[in-house]
Structure 1
Amino acid sequence: MKSPKEKMIAELPYVDSDGQLFKDRQYAKEELKRFNDSEPKQIKFRKQLIQKFFKATGSRFFIEPPFRCDYGYNITIGENFYSNYNCTILDCAPVTIGENVLFGPNVSLFTAGHPVHFEARNQGWEFASAIVIEDNVWIGGNVVINPGVRIGKNSVVGSGSVVTKDIPADVVAVGNPCRVIRTITEEDCIDYGAKP
């Protein structure tokens, strides 16, 4: 029989009946307090903490404090990931973020969900659905990404969007609910000159 934690990660309905998930969240809060209270110059300390705390990371990434998540152990970030201030990831289910992904400030990823009907919700039932963000994606500030969403490679999600459904690769998508407004083309490739 699966534990509530195993059910949660497997995206099955669960109730935290044994208290393990509460303990895991408390541990995460303690680690994140250390991360968020660190001095600005303690870049190496913050990086090492995240490398131990997340499921997996690339060797190059930067997460601006403050940062919040539920567990940490369900988050994977790829090479060259950058998150601006006030990122929140509710990682009840796996969150997989590819390479060269940028987050603006106040980005929120929510894998967690609760029953619509109050009786099941009042009994403590929860569920979670994984979020996947593929390579080379830019998520603008104040974007909310809901459970079960996949954002395709090279796409851009405009500021303030609420993403409720999958976004395909190579598009610009905006709005509430978020929708594709155009495809990214070669005309969007601006020559900024030599790399710095």
Structure 2
Amino acid sequence: MTEREKMLAGLQYDCGDPELLDRWHLARALTLRYNQTDSRDSRAQRALLSQLLGGMGENLWITPPFYVDYGSNIYFAENCEVNLNCTFQDCNRITIGKNALIGPNVQIYTAFHPTNAADRLGVPCAGGFAFAVGYTAPVTIGDNVWLGGGAILLPGVTIGSNVVIGAGSVVTRDIPSNTVAAGNPCRVLRQNG
């Protein structure tokens, strides 16, 4: 099993693996170019996103700056809008349904580390740096979801369809469809619709 396969399976993996580092560096280069592309040049933006992302539907709008780890583990359905300064740490799959509205400064995390410090310490890789021991869990977002500005989604959460997540919320567990949820930790406030 490759380190990438371990990463996507949620097993302990080596962040310093050459295949993973090559993709990480490529994602840095592509996001740098994307973030510097003239906002009126939608053709160039779409070409860069097609190289960066794992998949995307029609009518995807991402306002730069936009930050990712690998990019290739992010999948958008159609008619999605991502506002500026969002960070998607895609060490596992991030799946976003159709008609998603993602506010500014939203952060989506798929990686986590052991809470015990001794278990977290990494082993130096070929380049000499000791990355922390890591695990991952996917994040899934349904259709017609609005993530308010500054929301943070933690590894392993699923947000159902037709959900509104309030600005500044920290989503630590699944949120069911057809609800409005907010807070830290995020909790359902009411039914939506």
Same fold (TM over 0.5): yes
Amino acid at match of 2:53: F
2:154 is aligned to 146
User: Structure 2 vs 1, CA of residues 61 and 18 (structure 1 numbering), >3 Å: closer, same or farther?
Assistant: closer
For normalisation by structure 1, the TM-score amounts to 0.91
Of 183, 190, 195, the match for 2:191: 183
- Number of equivalent positions: 184
CA deviation map 1:10-46 (0-9, x unaligned) = 1111123533222211110001000001112122211
Which has the higher Rg, Structure 1 or Structure 2? 1
> What is the distance in 2 between the residues matched to 1:181 and 1:134?
18
1:181 partner SS: strand
User: Structure 2 vs 1, CA of residues 17 and 29 (structure 1 numbering), >3 Å: closer, same or farther?
Assistant: closer
Moved over 4 A (4+): none
> What is the distance in 1 between the residues matched to 2:63 and 2:51?
17
Amino acid at match of 2:46: K
For normalisation by structure 2, the TM-score amounts to 0.92
Check conservation: 1:4, 1:17, Cα contact below 8 A.
no
Amino acid at match of 2:103: G
Q: Does 1:46 align with 2:45?
A: yes
2:55 partner SS: coil
> What is the distance in 1 between the residues matched to 2:172 and 2:14?
24
> What is the distance in 2 between the residues matched to 1:18 and 1:104?
33
Task: Name structure 1 gaps, 5 residues minimum.
Answer: 186-196
Q: Does 1:55 align with 2:54?
A: yes
> What is the distance in 2 between the residues matched to 1:16 and 1:3?
12
Of 149, 158, 165, the match for 2:166: 158
1:165 partner SS: coil
1:190 is aligned to none
| Structural RMSD (CA) | 1.0
